[in-house]
Structure 1
């Protein structure tokens, strides 16, 4: 009987594409951080818009794509974060840029009592219920005369700050929020809690039988998604300088997020990024066509769901193995007589 040498196993946590993406990402962020010194103000405004789209879509993807909780009412926290930022700036004398994370924190906190109502529902009822909750938020702020009622109001706290300083600071805040959102979501999904979240998405009963605190995990993800949505809302209305209930709590925000995630690839970190860039480009160059533009968005979504069921990035990842943010681990047999690949773990 021949004695087989023991296998030497190593865990591969990154891919060649992810290592290249890390180097390229750091370089892009460093160059982007210098944009206010040499770029035009219109470029900064466009980036802030893309950043808000991306952050909001990323949070929806975390909630639905990874957590399995399909919500069409995340605009409730988007608008709430924006209004809290405005009230802190206009009425409490807080610097609006400091009020951005405070508005996001308020959105995360208000998500806790909201979850007591939302989590009594499941499936399609949960989705519709979150939309109803968002409408309650919209009607509530529309009846508060201090913030302009239904017509909204202007962010007056920025009047003492010159335009160049305001635009560059808003831009840097947006860049920092994008980097933080990507890094934190990536680290979370690579942790044990991220694995637990995927188990809950696939089968709640089986996950709970394995000792995973399902209710606590779902609440945590719901609060984090609300925090991110509030961050996107506060950032957006600092750049927009005006807020109204119809703009802040419009269901279009969640519809756009769903579009971006589906186009890019649901359940992938790269998906919202690809989707946000595509949506921004379509919105930038085709929005003047009115109803034809909306029909084009719908047609594109239908084509992608028919021919690229995993989204555009999902298709590229499936065909060419591209993974800029790998959340899975590969077990490799690196012994001289062993194979190079044993199995892949989530």
Structure 2
């Protein structure tokens, strides 16, 4: 039993067992405490943080564990949003009925990219170049297919609203959307925790450390990389309509590389890759900093870049791993002092 585990057990807690419920309860308590009537800016900021935390968690699976760097998350988010909206409008049904269709299409594209990349033994650099090219091509398709997508003008989207619940309970739509996105994030966290503790986690670690060695012991590298790609892209596609619902419309500019992919990658690195809480912590910090610097105007990107350099220098492995290592060190010091007092 590790030092960390024993210390938590002495305190009457087992962090490994309570961390997911505790984090979700804390996040669920935010709307009653923070969301106030008329404060839509604050509620929008929290919802955006949850959306980007979910996107970072998805990237954590495919990049953090199998070294497949997706640089077309914006395109996958757009595919999920556009597919859900266009299909629902064409069939004259609610977007709730087509929600999974958009996620499945995004998942299929992610799986196909990973399958081809694994078959051809693409390195992480080649995968990033391939997905970046797809990012630009797909966003340009969103702009060019104006008859279908509305082009640069975009299309209005509000089909995931719960008008009956809003009227009966008298609550703002942001509260409902917040809990909806939180439910997706919570399901993603639980699934991710299960996946990394299962045979998938073992296979992913083997692939990340050495693909050749993994194959030599019977790990089907192509299969596991494809699964990782599908799962991550499916989550990204599923969160797309939520992102569109928050904005109230769907336009190609929402899904550009610098709008989604850059932020998600920064969030994951700052929070900590291959960690359960890293995407949440990173999203909270980066989304807050990004919004606060809006008032800086043309100096915004300069200040944002400087702050990122500081974060990367002092938290090279991410904030969550840094805090965990610091806690371990303090526990060791405390136990050593306790043993010295006893002797």
Identify the TM-score tier after normalising by the shorter chain.
0.7 to 0.9
Report deviation, 1:268: 1.3
Query: For residues 235-289 of structure 1, what are the alpha-carbon distances to aligned partners after superposition, in whole Å with 9 as ceiling and x for unaligned?
Result: 1001211111222243431110111111111221221111100012112322221
Partner residue of 1:301?
Answer: 308
Report deviation, 1:297: 2.3
Contact 1:72 1:251 in 2 (8 A): no
**Alpha-carbon distance in structure 2 between the residues aligned to 1:147 and 1:250:** 19
**Alpha-carbon distance in structure 1 between the residues aligned to 2:206 and 2:231:** 18
Partner residue of 2:195?
Answer: 188
Contact 1:73 1:251 in 2 (8 A): no
Unpaired runs of 5+ residues, structure 2, are 9-13, 330-343
Partner residue of 1:25?
Answer: 23
Partner residue of 2:266?
Answer: 259
Contact 1:90 1:156 in 2 (8 A): no
Contact 2:115 2:226 in 1 (8 A): no
Alignment of 1:1-346 (within 5 A): 16-22=14-20, 24-25=22-23, 27-28=25-26, 31-32=29-30, 42=40, 43-119=42-118, 120=120, 121-144=122-145, 145-155=147-157, 157=159, 161=163, 166-321=173-328
Contact 2:293 2:304 in 1 (8 A): no
Contact 2:78 2:237 in 1 (8 A): yes
CA change 1:161–1:20 in 2 (3 A) is closer
**Alpha-carbon distance in structure 1 between the residues aligned to 2:74 and 2:149:** 18
Report deviation, 1:159: 8.8
**Alpha-carbon distance in structure 1 between the residues aligned to 2:288 and 2:305:** 15
Contact 2:66 2:204 in 1 (8 A): yes
Contact 2:24 2:186 in 1 (8 A): no
CA change 1:287–1:68 in 2 (3 A) is same
Number of residues paired by the alignment? 313
Unpaired runs of 5+ residues, structure 1, are 1-7, 323-346
Report deviation, 1:158: 6.4
2:316 is paired with a residue of what secondary structure? coil
State the TM-score, normalizing by the size of structure 2.
0.81
**Alpha-carbon distance in structure 2 between the residues aligned to 1:133 and 1:233:** 17
Report deviation, 1:122: 2.1
CA change 1:14–1:103 in 2 (3 A) is farther
CA change 1:14–1:161 in 2 (3 A) is farther
State the TM-score, normalizing by the size of structure 1.
0.80
**Alpha-carbon distance in structure 1 between the residues aligned to 2:280 and 2:161:** 33
CA change 1:283–1:97 in 2 (3 A) is farther
Cα root mean square deviation, aligned: 3.0
Partner residue of 1:340?
Answer: none
Report deviation, 1:85: 1.8
Contact 1:137 1:249 in 2 (8 A): no
Report deviation, 1:224: 0.7
